[in-house]
Structure 1
């Protein structure tokens, strides 16, 4: 048996073990203990620093009072613990107890498999969850990401949360993006643009450039004329809020009820096994939207805003519109024959002209009719 012990009160008791420093023990095959009061008790383990223990197979503990007890784990810093297989704990008083987990910072816990906790007093206890910031928790929800200060994920798994609590006794959330696609914000949404718009399909399939008064043609739209009794809006170049765009996927990807609400069903997700056959994510029930059988994932989807036959129509707010040169700021305008604005000189209603921005372009207030 080839061992090597050097220093003060060191012990190398396993084949090919190496102990050095003061009061160190290398009792695992091919292990290495160095520093002061360190123990490397497992195969190929390495303990260094002060009062560290590497008891997991091929584990590594370093720093002060750290323990690496899971196989192939790494604990570093001070009072950190890596107990889950392939886990990593670093910083101060951190715990990585989930398989393949990572805890860093101070007093953080990553107890869910594949979880990551960072910052101060954060807890990532859901499978493949992530907690960061200060005093945040994933609340056992899988796939959750929470950041900020003093808050807990509290709605759906596989979602994003922003915490804004005052202290642990008064937690809070400022925003959430849910796996359903819903966005919840406890505050204002701001934009340099100044109109609300909706997407409409053009009646002839041709594109409509920004700055035209728009009229309805059934459920589709066209450039307005002076004879149109109802003006739906003005074609918008950059809306502050755009509705009906279906930006991320085909709008009928999922089945809905008669009111357009997405239909969901419970699906049994099989257990996920590791390389050695161990269960790393157990079988569980997951609520999922029902796919439309008409949806073809092989077809590339083009959002409506990128297609010629769709146009964003500003319906409320400050909008730029083309004009024939007759309109004056502080006065009213109305649609002309070619969709351009023209001065509203006769008694009746029109749209208020805020300013002229170019020789043939106005900024008007749309959404309210003004009267002469």
Structure 2
């Protein structure tokens, strides 16, 4: 067996070296190695192994023979048909074709593989279509759309499709046609320092031999075969195209670098989506780097039609858009509204360090823009370090948003966004909600300077979105109706946002908040260590080794080693050591039941010292403080001589019962003994809870005043030290009884043994009473 060097570079020793070799293993290895070489055949040569194939790639351009097109009969005089001269010079490929300065008229060039076509300089060497060339021809394309081509280099020249000489009524045929430079089914090729001028369809197009279209492969999951791979356009320039100056379809690894695109012209007045750069149907792994777009309908568009898969895995880096109707646009047509299917392919786009400058309306497409950035139908979009700037006060942005996410745009991240000078726009940044929204947009680091009426706006249903670190400043000349952050939904997550020069800083869920606002939907932990909140809307604050584990609305505050297992409650607790437990709770406030539990004493820091309840007066009027009262039925009136004294109207009660502070006392149904009747209810988190059954006659929209605010309800001290109105007979140490109109008088045979502790104020005849402090029981 011969000594054999594989594509892996492994050394196979000869048998004479006394090394035992498994012959079957060696044969299999050589077979695999050979088949890899065969699989990489270029259609002409079959390589014995991959190492030979790779060497061919390395040497392909290095050893091209050089030819000059003038040596094959080209004139370059702007009149002569030089088509055949180019084809003779290129032959079957393998040559570097030099094209000197001049204007070379052709009917369309077909460039074979392994060919370099190099001019004397962009705008010095001009290749221009003859006036009578069929409309479907391109100035330059590859020679074999069916089987494909590779290793083509085009550089340092101008391609002119000669649109101006076309007869009236001419139309572009369907499919990839009518371009300045059209690559279809081309791999590993470069185009640089080329100027594409006045194309019928596209200035530059790296595509497949066919497009999807209505009635012909109109399936948004069908990927056309034969797309280009690893085609790079650098330092190229294009203008005047009937559709897009730069575009690609159905290929992978296309790169546009340092290219200039300006003023595509469109074919249909007022309805041409004619763009500077368009990354179109099913393009994948595309890089657009340091490119400039001027005066298109859309400066940079990443998209797909409804009948094709979307472009995906696209990066735009360091790109600038000037005076386009829409500077940057990301969309999948036909996958926008609630009734449309969600796109299965519109994913993963990145914009980094891009600038939109003075977007303005265009006559090329009526009603488009003006906008700096639009995102729809896509997910996984990241926009980082984006500037939108307007310094042209003549542009009217009324009715428009500078940046918008809408029509099923979802899982979008907008970070480090600066918007300046769009003073007439409705919104700087609008996240459109409603039926066509599928939610979740993250906005972080936004600076708004002298710009739109509303800063950051969220439509309905966008409660899962997050906005943070937004700073907005408007000049104070006209701030009427302006708002920094607006959200239809009340549950928007908001943090670290500040505004000046706006009428209102925040309007969220219909509520105006003119102050710094922090809102966080869901569970949260703040100012705590080794703590967890595991239910819905649970919260732990200022605690160590504490957990809120109730199903929902469970909180722990200022605690140590404490677990709150209950929903709708706040717990405080403490225990030494390092073990958390619910038994370490010391205080619990229960929101649903309205109860307070404490393991220690409840102490009052005030000097009030009686215990009281609310009673309704018989007269329906307020009874003066210090008046002795008695019961008549379930109501009270001032006590008279001989009446049983219920208590005293008090202002010094430490504990007051029966105020019915928050709602009508009959709001909930009660059983025969005054307790609530309970029923199963589903709370906002979908949990089943037992809750009081509401009275069907209760009207929640009716205004309700608590008993404290109603004259007919009086606080009656029942036990403790109270201030009592008295006549002139009462002194310290006396027992009292009611005399007349609730005034106390001395008695030597008390029935209730209410004793005077001290005289507070001597009897005043002009007032008709004195005041004594009485202990009642």
TM-score w.r.t. the length of structure 2 is 0.34
Match of 2:534 in 1: 125
Give the CA deviation at 1:85: 6.9
Give the CA deviation at 1:166: 3.4
- Counterpart contact for 1:141–1:153, Cα < 8 Å: no
Give the CA deviation at 1:15: 2.3
Find the aligned partners of 1:327 and 1:197 in 2 and give their Cα distance: 24
- Counterpart contact for 1:60–1:74, Cα < 8 Å: yes
Match of 2:350 in 1: 29
Match of 1:306 in 2: 709
- Counterpart contact for 1:257–1:263, Cα < 8 Å: yes
- Counterpart contact for 1:235–1:313, Cα < 8 Å: yes
1:149 is paired with a residue whose SS is coil
1:177 is paired with a residue whose SS is strand
Distance 1:161 1:17, change over 3 A: farther
Higher helix share: 2
Distance 1:60 1:189, change over 3 A: farther
Aligned counterpart in structure 1 of residue 632 of structure 2, from 217, 220, 223: 217
1:49-64 matches, within 5 Å, as 57-58=412-413
Cα deviation per residue 1:91-150 (whole Å; 9 max; x = unaligned)?
A: xxxxxxxx97799xxxxxxxx962221012232222222210113322143123321112
Cα deviation per residue 1:194-253 (whole Å; 9 max; x = unaligned)?
A: 11111112222232111011111122211111211x211111123111112211111110
1:305 is paired with a residue whose SS is helix
Find the aligned partners of 2:412 and 2:751 in 1 and give their Cα distance: 86
Find the aligned partners of 1:314 and 1:347 in 2 and give their Cα distance: 19
Find the aligned partners of 1:58 and 1:362 in 2 and give their Cα distance: 72
Distance 1:323 1:250, change over 3 A: same
Find the aligned partners of 2:708 and 2:532 in 1 and give their Cα distance: 41
Distance 1:362 1:344, change over 3 A: same
Aligned counterpart in structure 1 of residue 547 of structure 2, from 97, 122, 137: 137
The size of the alignment, in residue pairs, is 289
Give the CA deviation at 1:320: 0.2
- Counterpart contact for 1:102–1:116, Cα < 8 Å: no
Match of 1:364 in 2: 774
Distance 1:350 1:128, change over 3 A: same
Give the CA deviation at 1:60: 6.1
Match of 2:623 in 1: 208
1:1-372 matches, within 5 Å, as 1-2=288-289, 14-16=315-317, 29-31=350-352, 43-45=382-384, 57-58=412-413, 72=442, 86=466, 114-121=522-529, 122-135=531-544, 136-150=546-560, 151-155=562-566, 157-169=567-579, 171=581, 172-178=584-590, 179-187=592-600, 188-190=602-604, 191-228=606-643, 230-268=644-682, 283-346=686-749, 350-359=753-762, 360-367=770-777
Q: Which runs of 5+ in 1 are unaligned?
A: 5-12, 19-26, 33-40, 47-55, 62-69, 76-83, 89-98, 104-111, 271-280, 368-372
Distance 1:114 1:240, change over 3 A: same
Distance 1:299 1:14, change over 3 A: closer
TM-score w.r.t. the length of structure 1 is 0.67
Runs of 4+ aligned structure 1 residues displaced above 4 Å come to: 99-103, 346-349
Distance 1:254 1:301, change over 3 A: same
Find the aligned partners of 1:60 and 1:144 in 2 and give their Cα distance: 33
Distance 1:284 1:323, change over 3 A: closer
Q: Which protein has the larger Cα radius of gyration, Structure 1 or Structure 2?
A: 2
- Counterpart contact for 2:543–2:556, Cα < 8 Å: no
- Counterpart contact for 1:145–1:159, Cα < 8 Å: yes
- Counterpart contact for 1:197–1:241, Cα < 8 Å: yes
Find the aligned partners of 1:364 and 1:246 in 2 and give their Cα distance: 28
1:29 is paired with a residue whose SS is strand
Find the aligned partners of 1:285 and 1:154 in 2 and give their Cα distance: 16
